[in-house]
Structure 1
């Protein structure tokens, strides 16, 4: 069960990292943003997350803990505390095509050394689990440590300790549908070929994130090398719009902490700008 939750978090990370790099207006250095509206009594908050990092680099900042202690609900991309959602994930994994059904023999030969290096098995040994699962698990191997922290899991633990309700912006099946549209076998294969380059950029992104520089973080994990024509459309823009359609109603019901990948915050089609277009005031929280 814990393994399934880890895969869900990593898939969420994959979804935010594959976006085109565009020029961004400079936003304040903050991972936490306050959202207010004249017709809504209580504010809510947006927290940009970096889904996975080494334990030594990981911290839930005091300002985030303060908000977790005062808001009515924690809203994640998906609700990993829901057994039914984990069941959907498990069923989806069971339906995965074999890697040998999605890639040519030549492609498999080229990525086989990466499988052995990162996952400790050959492509043939991992064949039944499918390419998307392999790609997700490889992300955990980008880090120079074995003690990993998954931010969404830690936020969930904090909320559960406080008996704070946990909600979601989307369903697991919705995420799986996005993966199937945007992450084609050939695209995943191409990303595996540049695994080492992405590994370098991601470890730089961790440092930028811990300095709360959300623009630099996004620029590092969203270079043009890590995208294709479908990823921005399906993985970021469409999801941001869907979330922003849901957030106002959720704010009317509760004061929430919305936590999702930090790359979703900024940009013309980012959650911050889309909420401003709907008449919300969105301001950085520094402490």
Structure 2
């Protein structure tokens, strides 16, 4: 079930400590300066879905939004082309049932009905990642809201330019390489307490303990080594290449999942390797 939680809360649609750093400041917001930049940009770690009661945007984040010219999310959530493409990406031509043996189909139907009251035929054309995300949210007993959406709305209210570091298609293609119908079935068979896992991640986020959050995310129970490489490390490196070209043109707040910040291949470490000064903004 921790796979479900990771997928839902760390991909827009969402660790061991770094060997290069003994400790890292507890902060979800970091200032990026130096390396020829005339104005600072900022890096904000987000949590894509939270309980409404936990969704609070701090004063320091509001100050950063005010200071920048633009906001870069993982995906540009106001780009009409992105929203149109998402409609096609949420239906799979390959059914879930076709990926399962006859006995697995029976088990899948039984578990889906008994645990979630859902009919397998209603979800057969869903991509695995979408069904896993749907199941994850059903395990959390609260009304949920998007932190990224809150940042986006604040940016729009301040007439900030909005851009994205990748496309929905990029994210979905990656998840389809990692997750399958068999993975969904394996998660349905788990008996772990998803609500407790979610609470642990939220507590780490609220405490701005990005190292603790990173350790939770890359636990093998949460993410395979291949999943870490594809969903975290490779995407971080791709984002960095875009960030180094964006920052000299306009001061930017980069808002990405907080699980991407820490670690030796995390965004903070990669920016430092590129010669930037990356400093935590504390309370």
Provide the TM-score with structure 2 as the length reference: 0.88
Choose which of 129, 139, 143 in structure 2 pairs with 1:142: 139
1:219 equivalent in structure 2: 215
1:106 equivalent in structure 2: 103
TM superposition shift of 1:143: 1.8
Q: Structure 2: give runs of 5+ residues left out of the alignment.
A: 1-5
Q: Would the alpha carbon gap of residues 82 and 114 (structure 1) be closer, same or farther in structure 2, given more than 3 Å must change?
A: farther
TM superposition shift of 1:201: 1.5
Query: In the aligned structure 2, how far is the partner of 1:250 from the partner of 1:262?
Result: 20
Render the CA deviation track for 1:107-135: whole Å, top value 9, x for unaligned.
Answer: 34434455336654122232233422211
Alignment of 1:246-261 (within 5 A): 246-261=242-257
TM superposition shift of 1:85: 0.4
Render the CA deviation track for 1:153-202: whole Å, top value 9, x for unaligned.
Answer: 11111111111111011111111221122223333332333364444212
TM superposition shift of 1:67: 0.7
1:125 equivalent in structure 2: 122
CA RMSD of aligned residues (A): 2.2
1:34 alignment partner, SS class: strand
Choose which of 230, 233, 236 in structure 1 pairs with 2:229: 233
1:225 alignment partner, SS class: coil
Choose which of 39, 49, 52 in structure 2 pairs with 1:42: 39
**Contact residue 14 and residue 136 of structure 1 kept, 8 A:** no
Render the CA deviation track for 1:3-56: whole Å, top value 9, x for unaligned.
Answer: xxxxxxx9673549x9xx333342111000111124110011111111111111
Render the CA deviation track for 1:191-233: whole Å, top value 9, x for unaligned.
Answer: 3333644442121110121111111222233321122242012
2:77 alignment partner, SS class: coil
TM superposition shift of 1:99: 1.5
Q: Structure 1: give runs of 5+ residues left out of the alignment.
A: 1-9
TM superposition shift of 1:98: 1.6
1:6 equivalent in structure 2: none
2:44 alignment partner, SS class: strand
The reply on whether 1:82 has 2:79 as its aligned counterpart is: yes
**Contact residue 51 and residue 144 of structure 2 kept, 8 A:** yes
Provide the TM-score with structure 1 as the length reference: 0.87
Q: Would the alpha carbon gap of residues 192 and 46 (structure 1) be closer, same or farther in structure 2, given more than 3 Å must change?
A: farther
Q: Would the alpha carbon gap of residues 57 and 124 (structure 1) be closer, same or farther in structure 2, given more than 3 Å must change?
A: same
Q: Runs of 4+ in structure 1 displaced over 4 angstroms?
A: none
The reply on whether 1:286 has 2:282 as its aligned counterpart is: yes
Choose which of 61, 64, 68 in structure 2 pairs with 1:67: 64
Alignment of 1:134-173 (within 5 A): 134-145=131-142, 147-173=143-169
1:5 equivalent in structure 2: none
Query: In the aligned structure 1, how far is the partner of 2:189 from the partner of 2:45?
Result: 28
Choose which of 176, 179, 198 in structure 2 pairs with 1:180: 176
Between the two proteins, the alignment pairs up a number of residues equal to 274
Q: Would the alpha carbon gap of residues 195 and 222 (structure 1) be closer, same or farther in structure 2, given more than 3 Å must change?
A: farther
